[in-house]
């Protein structure tokens, strides 16, 4: 098995079974037959505005899953709840078997998080920042150094490792954030808009890495409103609109119907803000998997 940092580890029969059955490996290496991520009827409002109106989804271990939706659909809110940054008003969630409401620190210890539009501290260099992240993550300095070299080479920013972040371009800062998300070699990563700001060569490197990472049995939960990214990269895509999952599909299995067509059918129009669209109607599933109940929308 290839880990996030290029390390090879043995895959036992037991761990292979766990991956094959949609289970995951606990920190102790025990196999558990549960989804890497599961949510049931998640609800969240900001004051009068309903951001999530009953979001239910499952992501098996070893899947590269994409949450696709228009602006304001509730993608970032979902990630913030799953990573223990935000409390839902109702519903439940499980991440690697941990409840992010009961044990938010436990979730954050186990997963990697790449938030949308977040920058590394302006007053540090990448190397200083990785030392800091490594100490928070309780990693050996030598391990950090080796992983940083691997990532700086992979994303082609070795020459910038000792430059203050304030003097890096937006894309270079994004490379630093990608590295930080994977530094502790997590089993699961949450990535909000993974390819934003990256040039096409680096985009390809990140895509290749995410596929290898998935092939090694790890799980990726990415959020995007870029249909091409979702179609090209994801094993399975969940389309979210107005705070609920309206369908799931496997882009590779869409022969006649392109993901764009599914998206337009479910969301109601291209480039239209979620708050301005009609309800997507009944929840369907192009690939036949279960998706969320479609209940009447709350006020938005």
Ligand X SMILES: Nc1ncnc2c1ncn2[C@@H]1O[C@H](COP(=O)(O)OP(=O)(O)OP(=O)(O)O)[C@@H](O)[C@H]1O
Q: Which residues bind ligand X (CB under 6 A)?
A: 46, 49, 51, 69, 71-77, 116, 225, 275
Q: How far apart are CA 139 and CA 13, in angstroms?
A: 28
Minimum distance from CB of 116 to ligand X (Å)? 6
Residue 163 or 300 having the CB closest to ligand X: 300
Minimum distance from CB of 110 to ligand X (Å)? 23
Minimum distance from CB of 45 to ligand X (Å)? 9
Minimum distance from CB of 76 to ligand X (Å)? 3
Residue 155 or 274 having the CB closest to ligand X: 274
Minimum distance from CB of 60 to ligand X (Å)? 23
Q: How far apart are CA 133 and CA 129, in angstroms?
A: 6
Residue 3 or 223 having the CB closest to ligand X: 223
Distances (CA, A) of 226 to 21, 222, 291: 30, 11, 21
The alpha carbons of the chain give a radius of gyration, in whole angstroms, of 19
3-class DSSP assignment, residue 87: coil
Residue 56 or 77 having the CB closest to ligand X: 77
Residue 5 or 76 having the CB closest to ligand X: 76
List the beta bridge partners of residue 98.
95
Residue 15 or 76 having the CB closest to ligand X: 76
Minimum distance from CB of 300 to ligand X (Å)? 7
Show the DSSP H helices in the chain as ranges: 13-20, 75-82, 104-110, 126-136, 141-154, 170-182, 200-215, 227-233, 259-267
Minimum distance from CB of 50 to ligand X (Å)? 8
Residue of 83, 93, 106, 96 lying closest to 219 (CA atoms):
96
Minimum distance from CB of 176 to ligand X (Å)? 21
Distances (CA, A) of 47 to 44, 84, 85, 89, 167: 9, 20, 17, 11, 39
Q: What is the DSSP string of 176-223?
A: HHHHHHHTT--SEEEEESTTTT--HHHHHHHHHHHHHHHHTT-EEEEE
Residue 69 or 88 having the CB closest to ligand X: 69
Secondary element (H or E) of residue 114: strand 111-114
Q: How far apart are CA 157 and CA 2, in angstroms?
A: 23
Residue 31 or 283 having the CB closest to ligand X: 283
Distances (CA, A) of 98 to 37, 110, 209, 276: 9, 10, 26, 35
3-class DSSP assignment, residue 277: coil
Do residues 82 and 190 lie in contact, with contact meaning Cβ atoms separated by under 8 Å? yes
């Amino acid at each position: 098995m290839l880990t996030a940092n290029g390390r090879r580890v043995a895959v036992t029969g037991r761990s292979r079974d766990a991956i094959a059955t949609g289970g995951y490996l606990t920190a102790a290496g025990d196999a558990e037959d549960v989804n890497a991520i599961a949510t049931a009827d998640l609800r969240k409002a900001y004051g009068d505005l309903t951001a999530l109106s009953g979001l239910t989804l499952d992501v098996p271990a070893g899947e590269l899953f994409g949450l696709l939706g228009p602006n304001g659909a509730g993608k970032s809110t979902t990630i913030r709840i799953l990573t223990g940054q935000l409390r839902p008003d109702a519903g439940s969630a499980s991440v690697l078997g941990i409840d992010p409401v009961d044990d938010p620190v436990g979730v954050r210890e186990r997963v990697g998080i790449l938030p949308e539009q977040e920058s590394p501290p302006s007053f540090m260099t990448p190397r200083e920042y990785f030392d800091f992240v490594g100490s928070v993550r309780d990693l050996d300095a030598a391990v950090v150094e080796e992983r940083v070299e691997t990532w700086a080479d992979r994303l082609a920013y070795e020459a910038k490792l000792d430059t203050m972040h304030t003097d890096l371009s937006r894309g270079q800062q994004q490379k630093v954030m990608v590295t930080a998300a994977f530094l502790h070699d997590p089993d699961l990563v949450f990535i909000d808009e993974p390819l934003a700001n990256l040039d096409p060569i680096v985009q390809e490197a990140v895509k290749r890495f995410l596929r290898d990472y998935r092939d090694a049995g790890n799980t990726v939960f990415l959020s995007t409103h870029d249909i091409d990214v979702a179609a090209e990269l994801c094993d399975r895509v969940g389309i979210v609109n107005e705070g609920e999952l309206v369908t799931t599909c496997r882009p590779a299995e869409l022969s006649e119907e392109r993901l764009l067509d599914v998206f337009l059918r479910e969301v109601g129009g291209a480039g239209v803000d979620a708050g301005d669209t009609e309800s997507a109607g009944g929840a369907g599933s192009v690939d036949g998997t279960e998706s969320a109940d479609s209940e009447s929308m709350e006020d938005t």
